Structure 1
């Protein structure tokens, strides 16, 4: 193997970093800004095989350990390419697709093992992909994030409909926390709305479909996508809801952090 001049110091630095993780790194959430699950498990590895843990983020680095094919309660230290969820939510699909494969520095629950693994072999505890082949208005037994997200969007439209008969406005900051993230609630407090973000228009007369998970990508890196078909004054369009866990609220419930309509989004 050809070893570049800078390779050995890089390995030494990586080894020191891994040792530091094992010895003294504090517990970390899934993302540096607090979004995502607190624990991860290995997925996509055959029974009898193991997931290689490497000295650095890539296959050019030596294997320094393994995680079992069904290992659970892994702690995520960081991932590269690095981004916060706030930045990720602003990225375009093209920008996301252009990113190189992500690698994550993981640590076992007992802190005896650590190393870099390809993120495609990780899934958040409780974030297993939901079966969206059949729609149901009831949450899946035991609860799953996609079903919870559907319930939030459904409840938002039910509340918006009841406003006409004197119900509490879900866009009132005093009520919005039941549907929106803490950041969106703060936006509602600070900026008067020019257009109703629920319907994507100043006025509404028409119909709204049942909220459905996005058929192509219902969940991606902790972000859930729910689509609603709206017909307003005879004109159809799709409202796209982006949701994720909100650590700014007790229990980190699934909440809406962005609504996308044709040509614009809120906030």
Structure 2
């Protein structure tokens, strides 16, 4: 009974996480953000610095999703923010964040009031935890494919992998970076990849079972159909708990 209650509390905490960019991205916030509060026929200006007096160098569409926060000012960790008095919080300057689009085509400073957690992958008929699992798997593929085209750091790099994996997965990726190669690419199940027709969706049967979320990714690699099955659980080491990948299953092998 106690374990069932603990799991329920963890799920509630996960679903009630803050949805605005109020805290520095220190590993505990959402993995992606979307524009909010901008009229459909308008855009969100991206500037050279944190403030309206800085030059506009680009613009994000009003429905932009998958945005990555590089940093925010004023810099505050969750712990430090919790230590401030109500008066100190009220006197903080407006928060601005350096934001980048998924394809790295747009990058600039925007007001944090126009950002919220990316929930674009959610469907009304989908359990919120399953929707979060689908969104996380979609983000990891989007970042990997975008990084390949732009020669940027991908989601499997040990410096950012904790946003997606449990510590044992991060440790295995770090071993691979130090010269202990993986059997194959964890996302594609092969050493080389030319990916087309990528689809990500909840497992057709038991998308959520005893606290574990299952998500399928299907695609063609060099024209050959493949499938990866992601198993995710809430990671209680985060506050609030965050869904992370515990296992990726391919035909004949699994990561980690």
Length-normalised TM-score, structure 2: 0.50
Please say if residues 10 and 236 of structure 2, whose CA atoms lie closer than 8 Å, have aligned partners that are also in contact.
no
2:134 to 142, 145, 150: 150
Q: Do the aligned partners of 2:10 and 2:234 also contact (CA within 8 Å) in 1?
A: no
Tell me the CA shift for residue 29 of structure 1.
Answer: 4.3
CA RMSD of aligned residues (A): 2.9
Find the structure with the greater CA-based Rg: 1
Cα offset for 1:251? 1.8
Shift of 1:143: 7.7
Q: Is the 8 A contact 1:163 1:169 kept in 2?
A: yes
Which residue of structure 2 lines up, in the alignment, with residue 196 of structure 1?
Answer: 185
Q: Deviations over 1:19-56 (max 9, x none)?
A: xx9xxxxxx5449xx8x33379xxxxxxxxxxxxxxxx
CA distance in 1, matches of 2:134, 2:237: 20
| Residue number among 191, 194, 213 corresponding to 1:205 in the alignment | 194
Cα distance in 2 for partners of 1:175, 1:227 equals 22
Are the aligned partners of 1:182 and 1:249 in contact in 2 as well (CA < 8 Å)?
no
Q: Find the counterpart in structure 2 of residue 184 from structure 1.
A: 169
Q: Select which of 104, 122, 144 maps to 1:139.
A: 122
Q: Which residue of 2 aligns with 1:68?
A: none
In structure 2, how many angstroms separate the alpha carbons of the residues matched to 1:197 and 1:207? 17
Contact 1:181 1:248 in 2 (8 A): no
Taking CA–CA contacts closer than 8 Å with sequence separation of 6 or more, which of the two structures ends up with the larger relative contact order?
Answer: 2
| 8 Å Cα contact 2:214/2:231 also seen in 1 | yes
List 4+ stretches of structure 1 deviating above 6 A. none
- After superposition, the C-alpha distances for 1:75-123 in whole angstroms (9 at most, x for unaligned) are xxxxxxxxxxxxxxxxxxxxxxxxxxxxxxxxxxxxxxxxxxxxxxxxx
Q: Which runs of 5+ in 2 are unaligned?
A: 12-118
| Residues 181-213 of structure 1: per-residue CA shift (max 9 Å, x gap) | 222112222343432111111000131423100
TM-score by length of 1: 0.48
1:215 corresponding residue in structure 2: 204
- Give the unaligned 5+ runs of structure 1: 1-20, 22-27, 41-135
Residues 144-197 of structure 1 show CA distances to partners (whole Å, capped at 9, x for unaligned) of 100000010000001101122133211111111111122211222234343211
Corresponding residue pairs, total: 144
Q: Secondary structure at the match of 1:177?
A: helix
Alpha-carbon offset, residue 140 of structure 1: 4.8
